[in-house]
Amino acid sequence: MLDTLFKAGVNVVRLNFSHGDPSGQAKRAAEVRAAAARVGAEVGILADLPGPKIRIERFAEGKIKLTMGDRFDLVADANAPAGDQHQVGVSYLGLPQDVTAGDVLLLDDGLMQLQVTDVQGARIVTTVLNDGVLSDRKGLNKQGGGLSLGALTERDKELIGIVAKIGVDFIAVSFCRNAQDMQDARQIAKQHGCDAQLVSKIERTEAIENLVEIVEASDVVMVARGDLGVEIGDAELPGLQKKIIRESLAQNKVVITATQMLQSMVESPIPTRAEVLDVANAVIDGTDAVMLSAETAAGAYPVRAVEAMARICLGAEHQFEFDTDFEAAQRNLQRADQAIAMATMFLSEHIGLGGVVALTESGGTPRFLSRFRSNMPIYAFTRHDGARRQMAMMRGVFPINFDSRGLTPREAARAAIRLLVENERMGPGDRVVFTSGEHMETHGATNTLRLLEVGDDGRATGLGEL
C-alpha cells in the first residue's frame, strides 16, 4: 500500500503519536523508509506530538445522551468515578482555574456545547446547550481560548527523545502558544542530537495572538484547522488560514494546510465540489503542502484520496498563473543565498527557463527559491538524505541525490545537467540557472549563479557566470 501511495504523490508521512506505542511507530517509520527506497522516492516522516489535548474521561456505559437544558458536571479530579448521566471526569486538573460562569466549553469538536454556570472546587457545573450523544475520551476546548495549559507535556518531552532515535524529519508541536514553546522543543531536540525541522501547529487562540513570533521560531507552520476552528468559530477560519499562510511565506517558512480537506472520501470514492475548492484555494493562497488524515489512515479509498489531492493541486496551479511577486519579497536580505535566490527567480521571469538547478547542503537556497511561487521546477541536488526528505515538503522543489564532493562547480554543473537529461527532465535547447557555492560542502555558502543551456548532445554549455 505504501508503495502505491508514494507513486500517487505522497511526499511526507505523518505518524500521530497520540495513538499507538513508540515501538509500533518505529516499525511504521522503518516501513516508510523501505517503501520509499523501493519506489525511488524522497519521503519525509513527520512525528506529531500529542500535546496537552484536554479530554473527558470514560463513561461507565461507554456513552450517554444529553438533552438541552440538562445540568452536567465536569470533575477535575484524578480519582473521579466513571462518568454517568450527570458527570464525567476531565484529564486537565487545572480546568476549574481557567473557566468562569458564562464560558462555553466545546466537546467532540464542537458537537456538544456546555455553558459554565458555577465552579465549585474541582467541580465545574454546566448547562447543556444542545441535544447529543457524548462518548468516552472526547476532546474539550474553551470557546475563544484562554486555557493556561502549556504546549509541551512531560510525555511530549519523552517522545522527542524517542523520535530522535527513530530519525524523523519533522516534529510537530501541538497546541503551541508562543515562541517559547517552540524554543523549548528545539532545545530538547538538540539535547538528543536531533536535527528534525520543527512544525508549529496553529490551533489555539493564543497562537493567533502570537503568530509572528511563533512563525519566526518555527521551520514549518501547520494551519491545524480542527481545534482552531472549534476555538475561534467557523466564520473566522477562512480569513485566519490566509493570514497564517501569508505570514509564513513572508518569513520564508514552509506551510501546511490540514484537517478535513477531503473528509467525505473516508467513505466516498470521489470528493465533494466544496472539498475540491477548499484544496484548490489553499494552493492558490500559497500553501506548500496539503494534508490528509482520516482519509488515508482509516478511509475506504486511501489511494484515490491521494490521487484526487494531487490532481486538484496540479489543476489549481495550471489554471491559476502565479506572477512572481518581487514587490512582496523580503527587502532585508542578509545572506548571499537569499540574494542569489531572488536574482534566479527574476531571471526565470524574463528569459524562459526550463528549470532551476540548486546544489545545496541544507536546503536553504531551494527554500528561498520556492517562496517566490514561480511555475519553474526547482531541482535540488544534495548528498544529504535528511535534507532531501525535508525539501520534499517544499512547493515546486524536486530533491535529487547527488554527491558533489571532489568536483569543481563547473564539473558539478555538467554532471547535474547530464543527470536531468538522462532522466528526461530536460532536453536540448532548455535553459537552466545553476546555483552553487565556491565551497561546495559548506552550509549557507551559495554565492554563484550560472546561466546554462543544454546542447544537442545533452551537455551543458554557456557556463558563463552572471
Is 55 among the catalytic positions? yes
**Is residue 155 in some structural domain?**
yes
Spatial distance between the Cα atoms of 255 and 287, rounded to a whole number of angstroms: 5
Looking up residue 428, the CATH number of its domain turns out to be: 3.40.1380.20
Instruction: Examine the pLDDT at 117 and tell me if it is beyond 50.
Output: yes
Q: Indicate which residue of 33, 177, 186, 201 is catalytic.
A: 201
User: Do 30 and 171 belong together in one domain?
Assistant: yes
Q: Indicate which residue of 28, 55, 246, 459 is catalytic.
A: 55
Looking up residue 96, the CATH number of its domain turns out to be: 2.40.33.10
For residue 153, give the nearest of 129, 126, 128, 181 by alpha carbon: 181
Q: What is the pLDDT of residue 457?
A: 86
**Is residue 264 in some structural domain?**
no
User: Do 177 and 67 belong together in one domain?
Assistant: no
Is 14 among the catalytic positions? yes
pLDDT tens for residues 266-296?
A: 999 999 999 999 999 999 999 999 999 999 9
For residue 360, give the nearest of 394, 332, 319, 402 by alpha carbon: 402
**Is residue 324 in some structural domain?**
no
Q: DSSP labels for 288-330?
A: SEE--SHHHHT-S-HHHHHHHHHHHHHHHHHHSPPPP-SSSS-
| C-alpha to C-alpha distances, 137 to 109, 148, 265, 274, 453, nearest whole angstrom | 12, 21, 25, 30, 61
Mean confidence (pLDDT) of the chain:
93
User: Do 214 and 158 belong together in one domain?
Assistant: yes
What is the residue whose three cell numbers read 560542502?
441
Is 408 among the catalytic positions? no
Q: What is the pLDDT of residue 330?
A: 56
User: Do 35 and 181 belong together in one domain?
Assistant: yes
Instruction: Examine the pLDDT at 102 and tell me if it is beyond 80.
Output: yes
pLDDT tens for residues 132-174?
A: 999 999 999 999 999 989 999 999 999 999 999 999 999 999 9
pLDDT tens for residues 181-195?
A: 999 999 999 999 999
pLDDT tens for residues 402-416?
A: 999 988 888 999 999
pLDDT tens for residues 7-32?
A: 999 999 999 999 889 999 999 999 99
Beta bridge partners of 356: 378, 433
In 403-418, which positions are buried (b, 16+ CB within 10 angstroms) versus exposed (e)?
A: ebeebebeebbbebbe
Beta bridge partners of 87: 73
Average pLDDT, stretch 417-421?
Answer: 94
**Is residue 319 in some structural domain?**
no
Q: What is the pLDDT of residue 328?
A: 52
Find the domain containing 45 and state its range: 2-51+151-259
pTM of the model: 0.93
pLDDT tens for residues 364-381?
A: 999 999 988 888 899 999
| 187: Cβ contacts below 8 Å, ≥ 6 apart | none
Spatial distance between the Cα atoms of 184 and 67, rounded to a whole number of angstroms: 43
User: Do 371 and 445 belong together in one domain?
Assistant: yes
Is 157 among the catalytic positions? no
User: Do 38 and 157 belong together in one domain?
Assistant: yes
Q: What is the pLDDT of residue 465?
A: 47
Task: Look at residues 259, 277, 310 and tell me which one is the last residue of a structural domain.
Answer: 259
User: Do 101 and 198 belong together in one domain?
Assistant: no
Q: Which residue has the higher pLDDT, 327 or 136?
A: 136
- What confidence category does residue 443 fall into, taking pLDDT thresholds of 50, 70 and 90? low
Instruction: Examine the pLDDT at 238 and tell me if it is beyond 90.
Output: yes
**Is residue 57 in some structural domain?**
no
Q: What is the pLDDT of residue 466?
A: 40
Q: What is the pLDDT of residue 305?
A: 99
User: Do 185 and 255 belong together in one domain?
Assistant: yes
pLDDT tens for residues 32-67?
A: 999 999 999 999 999 999 999 999 999 999 999 999
Q: What is the pLDDT of residue 322?
A: 56
Average pLDDT, stretch 434-441?
Answer: 71
Task: Look at residues 115, 142, 169 and tell me which one is the last residue of a structural domain.
Answer: 142
Task: Look at residues 104, 119, 142 and tell me which one is the last residue of a structural domain.
Answer: 142
User: Do 138 and 10 belong together in one domain?
Assistant: no
User: Do 346 and 453 belong together in one domain?
Assistant: yes
Q: Indicate which residue of 126, 205, 257, 259 is catalytic.
A: 259
**Is residue 158 in some structural domain?**
yes
Looking up residue 25, the CATH number of its domain turns out to be: 3.20.20.60
**Is residue 245 in some structural domain?**
yes
How many percent of the chain have pLDDT more than 90? 80
| 19: Cβ contacts below 8 Å, ≥ 6 apart | none
User: Do 161 and 118 belong together in one domain?
Assistant: no
Count up the domains in the chain and report the number: 3
For residue 132, give the nearest of 109, 116, 100 by alpha carbon: 109
Helix (H) / strand (E) element for 118: namely strand 112-120
User: Do 451 and 382 belong together in one domain?
Assistant: yes
Average pLDDT, stretch 341-357?
Answer: 85
